[in-house]
Chain A
Amino acid sequence: MRNLLILGAGTAGTIMANRLLPALDSEEWQITIVDQDEKHYYQPGFLFIPFGIYSRQDVIKPKRDYLPAGINVVMSKIEIIEPEKNQIKLADGKLIPYDILIIATGSRVHPDETEGMKEDGWFKNIFDFYTIEGATALANFLKYWEGGKMVLNITEMPIKCPVAPLEFVFLADWWFTEQGIRDKVEITFATPLPGAFTKPKASKLLGNFLDNKNIKLVPEFGIERVDSSANKIISFDDKELDYDLLVTIPTNMGDELIERSDMGDELNFIPTDPNTLQSKDHENIFVIGDATDLPSSKAGSVAHFQSEVLDKNILRFIDKRPLLPHFDGHANCFIESGFDKGILIDFNYDVEPLPGKFPLPGVGPFSLLEETKANHWGKMMFRWVYWNLLLKGAEMPIQAQMNMAGKRR
């Protein structure tokens, strides 16, 4: 019996377990998945919690409900990966050997990477919304806030779901309007990037959105520290921004397990072949989702597109066939823009988000880089798609590779 071991039962790991179980001969292969948390979080939903649109119950379900019967589920912390010995060691010292390893340990936020961030102001007037704790604490704060200076700050790139910070300020503009206090709130978007987003066309368009919504953009702001006694953030080049409410996107890093195993870069992301998803250092190790060091978005849609390439490559690896270099960096994101509207972007390693139409059999087409009601409904519908289709590894009507149909240069 040979062992295929998956580390992490989040979006990417769960999809892989569901796709590989029917593809592998159960007489020959045992699939094991290891995770330390029984709860599966629908992370795209965290964005809506501060505004009371979703509650905790909407975004949490038991992981085991989404893992297929027939695989071995181990709930434990992992001490270390030992690639030279083809085994991992759990926190209690137990060893699990593998023939093939898939690492899907994701990324998480590290507010402690920034001086002063996690001191007196933390969860008092400084919040993140990338954790369930931060998102719910922020919801409680916003419920009673009477207005003032709200600063959203991205600490450093890369971050999970790079459009979420923009969505947050768009939604905040809408929400404060609904509460009747928009005139009492000054919204600032401070980013280390030169504009609202990285890719030129989308950056310009999204920058216009910020303008129209009266949200101030502060580009090239590299945060050095937080002074929570004076309520200001200070950049490395001594620029200062005052806040009454600081919404931070802290440094995102891969799991500490990767650091303990000495397998990652400075941010604990694992060097990965950008097209085959094989680890650069070990041929029987594959990496998927946020855990990679790839310049693709760290997002669920990307993990899904990767899974359609990785399942084939795992089978080819078993059959000693050359791997297919078919992952193209494809990402597809609905951007919530407030007032029941949304924007859709679709792009890959080489093609930036372009305007046009996005054909989707049955429900589409959706408009690209354009604000519409249909895009908002696409986004809201996606939670159902996530729990019922995506996690289960079902075939989706969107190709893994990006398609130029409908796009305008």
Chain B
Amino acid sequence: MAEVTVDAKTFALDEDGFLADQNDWNEEFAKAIAKEEGIDELTEGHWNVINYMRSDYADKGAVPTIRRLKKAGGIPTKDLYALFPDGPAKKAARISGLPKPKGCV
């Protein structure tokens, strides 16, 4: 199993490169993964999305979709794309320590 080490703490990743255990997540992990995804600094706008995603996941047991982030979370889709360019749903979920969103087949 893949893993990533941030500040001497080791995080196990699942086969998709997402955090294996959501309880392991911390802000340092988020910052490190964000860098890996090409986001150098997490701003207030980013944290707003991350916090909403984490609490909604804890609540509903499912990674929120872009539409849910807009409708229930009040995050305009345009902003989401600006904050997490190229595949915002997946990128934001990975930084937030959630599993890979289920692209419905």
Which residues of A does B touch, CB under 8 Å?
Answer: 156-158, 162, 193-194, 197-199, 220, 222, 224, 235-237, 265-267, 295-297, 331, 347
CA distance A184 to B77 in the complex (A): 36
B63 shortest CB reach to chain A, Å:
11
Known: A236-B77, A266-B67, A266-B71. A347 touches B86 (CB 8 A): no
**Number of B residues with CB within 8 Å of any CB on chain A:** 20
> What is the predominant secondary structure among interface residues of chain B facing chain A?
helix
Interface of A, helix, strand, loop or mixed by DSSP: loop
A331 to B105 Cα, complex, angstroms: 9
Residues of chain A lying within 8 A (CB to CB) of residue B67: 156, 266-267
**Known A157-B104, A296-B105; 4 more pairs at CB < 8 Å:** A194-B90, A198-B103, A266-B71, A295-B105
- CB distance B87 to A198 under 8 Å? no
Please indicate the chain B residues that have their CB under 8 angstroms from the CB of A199 in the complex: 105
Q: Is the CB of B105 within 8 A of A236?
A: no
Contact with A along B55-69 (1 / 0, CB 8 A): 000000000011110
Among A193, A198, A266, A297, the residue within 8 A (CB) of B72 is A266
Q: Tell yes or no: B85 within 8 A of A by CB.
A: yes
**With A and B bound together, what is the CA distance between A288 and B47 in angstroms?**
38
Q: Is B82 at the interface (CB under 8 A from chain A)?
A: yes
- Determine the distance from Cα of A199 to Cα of B66 in the docked complex, in whole angstroms: 20
Distance (whole angstroms) from the CB of B83 to the closest CB of chain A: 11
Can you identify 21 A-B contacts, CB atoms within 8 angstroms?
A156-B66, A157-B104, A158-B104, A162-B104, A194-B87, A194-B90, A198-B105, A220-B87, A235-B81, A236-B78, A236-B80, A236-B81, A237-B85, A265-B68, A267-B67, A295-B102, A295-B105, A296-B105, A297-B105, A331-B105, A347-B105
Are B105 and A222 in contact (CB-based, < 8 A)? Answer: no
Please tell me if the beta carbons of B102 and A222 are within 8 angstroms of each other in the complex.
no
